[in-house]
Amino acid sequence: MRAADRERAIVDEAIRFFAERGFEGQTRELAKRMGITHSAIYRHFPSKEALIERVYQEVYLSRWSPDWGPMIRDRSLSLEARLTRFYLDYVERVFEYNWVRIFVFSGMKSFGITSRYLDIVRREIIEPAAAELRHELKLPDAKAHSLSERETELFWGLHGRIFYLAIRKFIYETPIPPDLDAIVRDAVQTFMDGAKTTMPRLLVSG
């Protein structure tokens, strides 16, 4: 097998392996599972951490759409329409067995995948969405009056509500509704109804 093909095979199997076993799974077990020598893995990846970093790039960065940030900032649409469009696409891309389980295992073992990914979510989605809600409600611009933690927590709450569907399916292995599009639309609409009342109050109290 060519070196590039072997590396590809190791990465693909590592994704499945870590999703099933978590990051406590050893590269020696991975090699045995693939029917290759342990040293064959280390010819391509000098350490387990290097292999995990490649998994992060393959599973997380490759699924992050560069369109999502601009989508949230697109004022030709209402914020509710933007959030709905984003979360429909987000669910389509990330509600997948390997993605969700590796994300959760990483958070428990402090490998940094979870925190790094959530930094991207915060920077590209959460904070811009909070700033856009201010704009839509004709409240002080976020550049002139910094966003408060309570404001961004509103949007983390929406994000968590939608992602919890994936937790139920791939971690708890319990049924979730088949029509996720309707659930996403309901979640965003309910959130916006409440946020339009809550956000002005947060600025007054903050």
Distance CA 56, CA 170 (A): 18
Mean pLDDT over 72-92 rounds to 98
Residues 6+ apart with CB under 8 A from 97: 19, 170
Residues 3-58, CATH architecture: Orthogonal Bundle (1.10)
Instruction: Indicate the domain borders of the chain.
Output: 3-58, 64-205
Q: What's the pLDDT tens digit per position in 6-42?
A: 999 999 999 999 999 988 889 999 999 999 999 999 9
* pLDDT, position 203: 86
pLDDT of 79 higher than 80? yes
* pLDDT, position 78: 98
pLDDT of 206 higher than 70? no
Distance CA 192, CA 166 (A): 22
pLDDT of 110 higher than 70? no
Concatenating the DSSP letter of every residue in 110-149 gives T-SHHHHHHHHHIIIIIHHHHHHHHHHTTPPPTTTSPPPH
CA atoms within 13 A on the CB side of 187: 25
Q: What's the pLDDT tens digit per position in 135-194?
A: 999 999 999 899 999 999 999 999 999 999 999 999 999 999 999 999 999 999 999 999
* pLDDT, position 107: 85
| Distance between start and end Cα atoms, the chain | 62
Q: What's the pLDDT tens digit per position in 42-77?
A: 999 999 999 999 999 998 888 999 999 999 999 999
